[in-house]
Amino acid sequence: MMRFIRWLSPVLAVLLFLTACQHQPKEIGLTAVSSAYQKQHAQHQNDPHFAEQNVEAAADLIKEVAKLRFFRAGEQLAQHLTPECRARMIEANQKQSGTDYGMSRLGTLETCEVLSLSDNDALVQIDCAYGDTPTSYILALRLASADETWLVDQMLMSDNPPKPRGRIESADQLVQAYQEAILAHDYTRLAYLYQIPWDPEGLLFWSTVEIADSEIITQKIQTDQACYQLKITVEDPGMSQLSKGTSNVWLWCRRIRQGEEIQSPGWTIEGLMSQQPPQSWWQE
């Protein structure tokens, strides 16, 4: 009997370990490319309907759009946009300047370099100057094929490097900032909330993700930790590990501990997870 128990013990240990592994929360990485997108990208390698297979024609459009976007030449820029992208641009300009096509920018455009082109997604660096002050921007574009030409369907621009962000003083402020950022494709803000180094490729990554809605279902907040169950509706997961449609995810958050990065937001995101945290996490 004792021999049987000694044989059974390691088997039970293995079974318990495997059971525990099955229930471990999985992180939905901020810029982790999904296997589904990687497979899709591989299938597009020889498809002429994707800009990556038409580099010269796409590069000409990309540089022209980058130039027009820098100078804020809205009326000319609109000619290179899909109707949906044009509507978003006009809406943003109306909020900012009260005009459809915005105010022109005074500056000197020095160089415009295409950093990467994958499928229909492009990343561009714009180097410029305002008087004697050099400045740089990163522009992420998503292209669409239309009537044997190319149009821009998504356009995101960021300072390079980004400007400092305001301090996050509470868990509720953190989750609100997170929800606003994912709805606005604001990778720059997300990187700050996660306290990770800003990477231009992240801007390209989030230009491919389309989230229509985010709602807080439940929340648990302690002194130094918080978790929010979110119901999010994803129209297009793009490169991300998110699932299309409506699903529940959990945002794990914590307060920055004393002695950590001084320029921290006060509260930070540990991760977007597939499940709520275990009890042991709350005791850390």
- Range in 18-27, 66-75, 111-120 with the lowest mean pLDDT: 18-27
Closest-CA residue to 140 (of 161, 115, 164)? 115
Task: Please tell me the pTM assigned to this model.
Answer: 0.81
State the pLDDT at residue 13: 46
* 198: in domain: yes
Q: What does the pLDDT average to over 124-153?
A: 90
Q: Report residue 21's pLDDT band, with 50, 70 and 90 as the boundaries.
A: very low
Residue ending a domain, among 94, 126, 159, is 159
Q: Tell me: do 151 and 206 sit in the same domain.
A: no
Q: What does the pLDDT average to over 96-113?
A: 88
In this predicted model, what pLDDT tens digit does every residue of 172-221 receive, in sequence order? 999 999 999 999 999 999 999 999 999 999 999 999 999 999 999 999 99
Q: Is residue 6 pLDDT above 80, yes or no?
A: no
Q: Tell me: do 204 and 238 sit in the same domain.
A: yes
* 98: in domain: yes
* 262: in domain: yes
Q: Is residue 19 pLDDT above 70, yes or no?
A: no
Q: Tell me: do 169 and 149 sit in the same domain.
A: no
Q: Report residue 89's pLDDT band, with 50, 70 and 90 as the boundaries.
A: very high
Residue ending a domain, among 115, 144, 159, is 159
State the pLDDT at residue 119: 84
| Domain hosting residue 123, numbered range | 44-159
In this predicted model, what pLDDT tens digit does every residue of 222-263 receive, in sequence order? 999 999 999 999 999 999 999 999 999 999 999 987 655 545
The helix (H) or strand (E) run that includes residue 123 is strand 121-130
* 223: in domain: yes
The answer to whether the CB of 232 falls within 8 A of the CB of 246 is yes
Q: Which residue has the higher pLDDT, 260 or 145?
A: 145
Q: How many domains does the chain have?
A: 2
Mean pLDDT of the chain: 86
Instruction: Classify strands 121-130 and 245-255 as parallel, antiparallel or unpaired.
Output: unpaired
Neighbouring-strand partners of residue 271: 252
Neighbouring-strand partners of residue 210: 236
pLDDT above 70 covers a percentage of the chain that reads 87
Q: Report residue 136's pLDDT band, with 50, 70 and 90 as the boundaries.
A: very high
* 211: in domain: yes
Q: Tell me: do 169 and 257 sit in the same domain.
A: yes
Residue ending a domain, among 112, 142, 159, is 159
- Environment class of 206 (CB within 10 Å of its CB; exposed 0-12, middle 13-18, buried 19+): buried
- Range in 1-5, 50-54, 154-158, 271-275 with the lowest mean pLDDT: 1-5
CATH assignment at residue 239: 3.10.450.50
State the pLDDT at residue 64: 94
